[in-house]
Amino acid sequence: MNYCAIDFGTSNSAIAIPAAAGGMQLVELEPGQRTMPTAVFYFTEGRDDADGPPRAFGRAALAAYVEGIDGRLMRSMKSILGSSLIDQTTDVGGGRGAKYADIVAGYLKRLRRLAGNPERAVLGRPVFFVDDEPERDAQAQAALEAAARSVGFSEVHFQYEPIAAAFDYESQIDSERLVLVADIGGGTSDFSIVRVGPARMQRLDRRDDILANHGVHIAGTDFDRHIELASVLREFGYRALGPMRADGTQREVPSGIYFDLATWHLINTAYSPQRMAELRQMRSFYDNADHHRRLMTVLEERLGHELASRAEGAKIAVAGGGDTQIDLSHVERGLSVELSEATAVEALDADLERIVQAARDTVRQAGLAPERIDALYFTGGSTGLRLLSERIAAQFSKAQAVRGDRFASVATGLGLHAARLFA
């Protein structure tokens, strides 16, 4: 029983291990959480230990970054695989350097410890780490395997993530079917056409069951940004006008600061002394003094990530339909803004259409007509957005819509594969 299954995701990761009562179970990686952000924060201060520079993982890593602690945050580490960066060294603060390969290995080591240090593992992998470059794709898998072996795994196997996501559905059907797996998370929207069925369940090599794979780099974080710009940041001057000029016209307030405040990894750049000094001097650019005053409050009190969090919460609140009120009283007493479903639809319309088009393109790549799709399998956090899932379903009217665990379907499926492989 000394094995595990790891979903090493771009945004979040999860791990499954054998359960005492039989079957597989997901590990609680953080208090009350079965998934952990794929993030590492290197502290500038502190002494190295046996594992290397002082670090925080997961939500603690994100919290350190948001709090402005000196150091370096590393996210989306999966995207490094297959690139020339993997063997390069990067500055992580305090005069220290770390190879990108070691950063990936350090995170995997953390997962392995939380799982009880098993020696055998199944790791998920995308259909393509690198599109249309088989050699680099093979190098990406080899780099991930090398990282896993370097932290103590003596036996490493891989399974395709869309196949793993469909395993739960496959166990419930009694005939072969074609499934469009929609895996829509924080950074990407990925689609795969997968052939599943009872006769295929015990096959360990399932590559031939993937008929097509396609995706776009649009997903939940893009939705959050558009929602924040369309609602929250309007109260701070986004798209506002300046004073009336002599020729009877008004100029729009510069928008750069608002795009940065709506982009998670750029928020801290808005707090630099030089940037804040420039923005203080821009009071005359605003016709509404309240907008500028609120903006400076956000910057001086470092409330940018809190605004982004409230925008994300509002997106979730309207995900199933209806309206919500966004409380902004932490900036100004009594301040709030309404987010209606109609406003959300308008803000997200272009992104949603590009994602839906990616689903259509995936089916076309497989040489199939839309009516040939038997089921739609939704997984990934952003598939909870009704506006999105209904638009995708409308393209495949004959397909059964099936919802897996939005955050752990891949890890659960990888666990099923690990049990078949090792047990």
What is the tally of structural domains in the chain? 1
Reported residue count of the chain is 423
What pLDDT, on the 0 to 100 scale, is given for residue 153?
98
- In a domain? residue 92: no
- The pLDDT tens digits of the residues spanning 238-258 come to 999 999 999 989 999 999 999
- In a domain? residue 189: no
Weakest-pLDDT range from 104-118, 171-185, 229-243: 171-185
- In a domain? residue 290: yes
- Counting beta carbons within 10 angstroms of the beta carbon of residue 204, is it exposed (0 to 12), middle (13 to 18) or buried (19 or more)? exposed
Q: How high is the mean pLDDT of the chain?
A: 92
Percent share of the chain, pLDDT over 70: 100
- In a domain? residue 405: no
- In a domain? residue 294: yes
Identify which of 1, 12, 2 has the alpha carbon closest to the alpha carbon of residue 411: 12
- The pLDDT tens digits of the residues spanning 263-295 come to 988 998 999 999 999 999 999 999 999 999 999
The better pLDDT of the pair 385, 363 is held by 363
Weakest-pLDDT range from 59-63, 169-173, 189-193, 324-328: 169-173
- In a domain? residue 242: yes
Whether 79 has a pLDDT exceeding 90, the answer reads no
Please check whether residue 161 is in contact with residue 7, taking contact to mean a CB–CB distance below 8 angstroms: yes
Weakest-pLDDT range from 24-38, 141-155, 311-325: 311-325
> What's the pLDDT band for 228 if we cut at 50, 70, 90?
very high
- In a domain? residue 325: yes
DSSP string, 93-128: ETTEEEEHHHHHHHHHHHHHHHTT--SEEEEEE-S-
- In a domain? residue 244: yes
Whether 169 has a pLDDT exceeding 90, the answer reads no
The domain in which residue 244 lies consists of 221-345
Beta bridge partner(s), residue 277: none
Mean pLDDT of 138-145: 95
Mean pLDDT of 104-112: 97
